[in-house]
Amino acid sequence: MTAIDTTPFIVSPGTRPHLEKRDPAESSAYDGDKKDGKELHLTMNARLEELQELLYAEGKQKLLIVLQAMDTGGKDSTIRHVFDGVNPQGVKVASFKKPTETELAHDYLWRAHRHTPARGEISIFNRSHYEDVLVVRVENLVPEEKWRRRYAQIRDFERMLAEEGVTIRKFFLHISKAEQRERMQSRLDEPHKRWKFSAGDLEVRKKWDAYQEAFEEMIAETSTEPAPWIVVPADRKWQRNLIVSQVLIETLEGLDMQYPDPEPGWESITIE
């Protein structure tokens, strides 16, 4: 349907993403202009809507989408745009905030596991269990030997999910530090965006390099064949939306889904 090649953005298992060499503003995925890109995105929305309906109707497959990014990276906006028009029935969004006391009293995967998709469902993780090797690492919330073990634990967890029929796609929305400045400033300047700003965001911004290093290692350690990371150049929102949508369309098309067969005899029924 489209000419979007997503392969350069998929991180092969066992390799580093080299975030420092990836330009967050690059536009190699789609060479048309913004207007055409937005039009194309409308047709992709319609396709995703069809595929989600089929997933739901078939009721067999499960899709887990993980979104991670720096603050203002566009996680919320990606969800809004990519799933625009998709039937909310069968799609769940789980946002992972600072853990509650109850959550902290359990292992760190407990709260993630509860939100994984059931048959026929799509679960979208807005932040995820990966916070437990990101903010937890940068803020020294647990000792290094403990968070370091989590890479293998997460690989095992996701392999288990995949073996149990969950298809997993993980997106890192890669923005530049300059783009973050713009977006944070507009959160402060524009009254209707102010609710999105929190003073803590400035502290996190100061630790930009430490976070980039944490993302780099996290992606290298946990991009696997059943649960790959996709590094999405995300400074240009409309390009970002095209890439995420294309990956999801290809993924769902690859699942070989079918509408359920009618019961024998249904073809001869006429409703009076």
Chain residues that interact with ligand ATP, rule: CB under 6 A? 71, 75-76, 96-99, 127, 131-132, 135-136, 196, 198
In the complex, what is the shortest distance from the CB of residue 242 to ligand ATP, in angstroms, rounded to a whole number?
21
* CB-based burial label for 230 (10 Å; 0-12, 13-18, 19+): buried
Nearest distance in Å: CB 115, ligand ATP: 13
Number of residues engaging Mg ion in binding (CB under 5 A)? 1
- The answer for residues whose C-beta is within 8 angstroms of residue 175's C-beta and 6 or more apart is 24, 69, 70, 72, 73, 74, 183, 234, 235
With CB atoms as reference, the residue minimizing the distance to Mg ion is: 71
In this structure, what is the dihedral angle of CA atoms 57, 60, 64, 65, given to the nearest 10 degrees?
-40
* Minimum distance, C-beta of residue 240 to ligand ATP, in the bound complex (Å): 14
132 touches, from ligand ATP, Mg ion, none (C-beta below 5 to 8 Å by class): ligand ATP
Residue of minimal Cβ distance to ligand ATP: 131
Region of 69-77, 80-88, 93-101, 218-226 interacting with Mg ion (CB under 5 A) = 69-77
Cβ(174)–Cβ(19) under 8 Å?
yes
Closest to Mg ion by CB, 71 vs 158, is 71
Distance CA 70, CA 216 (A): 12
CB of 197: closest distance to Mg ion in angstroms? 8
List the x/- string, 129-148, binding to Mg ion by CB under 5 A: --------------------
Pairing of strands 122-126, 229-233: unpaired
What does the longest C-alpha to C-alpha distance in the chain come to?
70
* CB of 198 vs Mg ion, minimal distance in Å: 6
Q: Which residue has the tokens 């073990």?
A: 149
For Mg ion, the closer CB: 9 or 172: 172
235 binds, among Mg ion, ligand ATP, none (CB under 5 to 8 A by kind): none
- Return the closest-CA partner of residue 244 out of 104, 67, 70, 15: 67
Q: How far is CA 109 from the centre of its chain?
A: 17
Compute the least distance from the CB of residue 206 to ligand ATP, in Å.
14
**Which of 64, 159, 168, 190 has the alpha carbon at shortest distance from 117?**
64
CB of 271 vs ligand ATP, minimal distance in Å: 49
76 binds, among ligand ATP, Mg ion, none (CB under 5 to 8 A by kind): ligand ATP
Which C-beta is closer to ligand ATP: that of 57 or that of 135? 135
| Rounded alpha-carbon distances, angstroms, from residue 83 to 37, 92, 127, 211 | 16, 11, 17, 28
Core vs surface per residue 125-145: b (16+ CB within 10 A) or e: bbbbbbbbbbbbbeeeeeeee
- Only one of the segments 65-73, 165-173, 178-186, 236-244 lies at the binding site for Mg ion (rule: CB under 5 A); that segment is 65-73
**Complex with ligand ATP: residue 47 or 174, whichever CB lies closer:** 174
Nearer to ligand ATP, 56 or 83 (CB): 83
Structure tokens at 115: 């939100």
Binding site for Mg ion (CB under 5 A): 71
